[in-house]
Chain A
Amino acid sequence: MKDTRFARFVVIVNGAVPLALLCWDAYRHQLGANPVNFAIRTTGMMTLILLPLSLLVTPVKKLTGWNWLFPFRRTLGLYAFFYACCHFTLFFGLDQSFDVSRTIGEMVKRPYLVVGSIGLLCLIPLALTSTKNAIKRLGSKRWQALHRLAYVAAVAGVVHYYMLVKADVRQPIAFAVVVTLLLGFRIVDAVRRRAARESKISAA
């Protein structure tokens, strides 16, 4: 129990490090020529790193049996949500100058913003139901079904990035490969479990 708390504490501290450095560089005017764009890009990148990391926990746990990894999943997922919120707030506040109608107008008109918004919206119910109490209230099955939205969010995040790049798609493709592997593992795993169940039933 105590070790779990410590492990989670390590993740909490590390997840805050990029934000702390981003703020430190901003304070020292070292975010480059276009600081707003830099901060938007960096927080977006953090979401694209943290969301797959949270999706990595279950496969690694299944392959290795390392149960101590489990508490990382929620912390990483919540951090992904947190950075996605920073990403949106920076866009809305500093790029669009808190102009609600213009921001909404842009978000509806631009496919890459539509896709990005879908990803962010998917994360909201997940963050709201991230407590143990919520699992109890929803029931494990329904909670799990709901939290499959994380897959939609990860795909939306990668597509959003791919759509705004001008020519060099190497980075978004790399993220796409990672997300494909993570989702592919789940599909293979589900198919295998179903096959195992069916062979058990037919054996009985």
Chain B
Amino acid sequence: MKHPITPEATYLNRRAFMRAGVVAATAVATGAIYRKFNRVSSGGAQTAQLADLLTPPATGPIAAASESSGFTVNEARTPFDAITHYNNFYEFSTDKEEVAEAAAKFDTSDWRVAIEGRAAKPRTFDLDDLLKISPPEERVYRMRCVEGWSMVIPWAGFSLSKLLERVEPLSGAKYAAFETLVDPKRMPGQRARVLSWPYVEGLRMDEAMHPLTLLASGLYGRALPPQDGAPLRLVVPWKYGFKGIKSIVKISLVETQPKTTWSDFAADEYGFYANVNPQVDHPRWSQATEQRIGESGRRKTLMFNGYAEQVASLYSSMDLRANY
């Protein structure tokens, strides 16, 4: 009873089956390609807990003093996972969501920081010695990125002034110039010349000595994760985030205004001062509002990122539109 020809019903069934297979296979392939480019981020490795962290109490006179000095801001803290998986750190990747993974194995052992230039006692510190200058304090700062988003970050560290005082700046020290490590083997993003390496930043001396200017070595009570600038970074809360240079290897005290990476890249878009200012727009986008990470909608950006009371006097004689 064998048919030489496949019955029509069987043929159609088989065809329907094959077609379903084609649809499923192509859809899975498309999905796989989408996933390759849009990976779901994972928790990642945890860094060590900081043993000697000084945390101000939540209430009382010390808490009030901490708030009025700007050391602690009473706003919801951005989750750790967001702070460690949304990073602008071009030395590892220009994709904010890729930095954590690209930096995961960054080796910071035997880290040294050279303090040189116009100082009576210039010196190169081993990281451990440098961190012994002062116990880390918890500082909860707003962080406003020039791209128009912001976070609230509990940093750990001490005022940069404490380090600079150790080397005894001379009267010729008008500016502090900072430099990030250059090592394309450890920082794969440096293989492409997206920016000119090393990343360099600078502050006027009075800005560098301001108590709010923080040399951070930790985050959420733990050692700084690589993607956030391990082992040592700058945090200047009233300036756009790119002023907060990461993975610092050198600080020079100099007489003239130093070159800074972003203003060197596009001087009309990024200035030396880069103070957060809702009235001075970036040439391509507004700076009046910001997207606070974790919130929906946009909130108004504050003058000097909300630190006007502490820092406005530094710029009292300056035209902030010209000196953006």
Q: Does A97 contact B (CB under 8 A)?
A: yes
* CB closest residue in chain A, given B265: A167
Interface segment, one of B18-26, B215-223, B305-313: B18-26
Docked complex Cα distance between A10 and B41 (Å): 30
Residue of B nearest to A163 (CB): B284
B298 at the interface (CB under 8 A from A): yes
Q: How near does chain A come to B220, taking the closest CB pair, in angstroms?
A: 15
Q: Which residues of B contact A62 (CB under 8 A)?
A: none
Query: How far does the Cβ of B267 sit from chain A's closest Cβ, in whole Å?
Result: 13
Find the A residue at minimum CB distance from B24: A13
Contact of A34 among B27, B90, B291 (CB under 8 A): B291
Q: A residues within 8 A CB of B298?
A: 95-97
**Is A130 an interface position by the 8 A CB rule?**
no
How far apart are the CA atoms of A135 and B261 in the complex, in Å? 54
Q: Quick one: CB contact mask for A159-195 with B, threshold 8 Å, 1 for yes?
A: 0000110111010000000000000000000000000
A163 to chain B, nearest CB (A): 7
Cβ 8 A contact of B26, one of A13, A18, A22, A38: A13
- Nearest A-chain residue to B149, judged by Cβ: A34
Chain A: CB-nearest residue to B289:
A102
Stretch at the interface among B30-38, B109-117, B176-184: B30-38
Instruction: Determine the chain A residues whose CB is within 8 A of the CB of B147 once the complex forms.
Output: 166
* Docked pose: A42 CA to B82 CA in angstroms: 19
A42→B38 contact, CB < 8 A: yes
- Which of A9, A10, A106 has a CB less than 8 Å from the CB of B286? A106
Known: A17-B34, A21-B31. A32 touches B41 (CB 8 A): yes
Contact of B86 with A164 in the complex, beta carbons under 8 Å: no
Quick check: B38 and A25 within 8 Å, CB to CB?
yes
Does B284 contact A111, Cβ atoms closer than 8 Å? yes
A30 contacts the other chain (CB 8 A): yes
B297 within 8 A of A: yes
B134 at the interface (CB under 8 A from A): no
Instruction: Give Cα A109–Cα B34 distance, bound, in whole angstroms.
Output: 33
> In the complex, A164 Cα to B147 Cα: how many Å?
10
A interface SS class: helix
Establish whether residues A34 and B26, one from each chain, have CB atoms under 8 Å apart when the complex forms. Answer: no
Complex CA gap A132/B95 in Å reads 43
- Name the distance in Å between A51's Cβ and chain B's nearest Cβ: 17
Give the residue of B27, B83, B94, B265 whose beta carbon is less than 8 angstroms from that of A13: B27
Q: How far is the CA of A96 from the CA of B291 in the complex (A)?
A: 10
What's the Cα separation between A112 and B23 when bound, in Å? 38
Within 8 A of A (CB), among B42-77: none
Bound Cα distance from A106 to B34, whole angstroms: 31
Chain A residues contacting B96 (CB-CB under 8 Å) are 33-34
Known A42-B38, A97-B297; contact A33-B85, beta-carbon cutoff 8 A: yes
Task: Give the complex CA separation of A33 and B87 in angstroms.
Answer: 10
B19–A33 touching, CB < 8 Å: no
Set of chain A residues within 8 Å of B149, measured between Cβ atoms: 34, 37
Nearest residue, chain B, Cβ from A111: B284
Question: Do residues A9 and B90 form an inter-chain contact, with CB atoms below 8 A?
Answer: no
Q: How far is the CB of B178 from chain A (nearest CB, A)?
A: 19
Contact partners of B296 in chain A: CB under 8 A: 36, 94
Q: Which residues of A contact B (CB under 8 A)?
A: 6, 9-10, 13-14, 17-18, 21-22, 25, 30, 32-34, 36-38, 42, 94-97, 106, 109-112, 163-164, 166-168, 170
A-B contact pairs, 6 of them (CB 8 A): A17-B31, A25-B40, A32-B86, A32-B97, A94-B297, A167-B90
Instruction: Given contact pairs A17-B30, A95-B291, A97-B298, enumerate 17 new A-B contacts (beta carbons under 8 Å).
Output: A18-B30, A25-B38, A33-B82, A33-B83, A33-B97, A38-B97, A94-B296, A94-B297, A97-B297, A110-B284, A110-B285, A164-B284, A164-B285, A166-B147, A167-B90, A168-B94, A170-B192
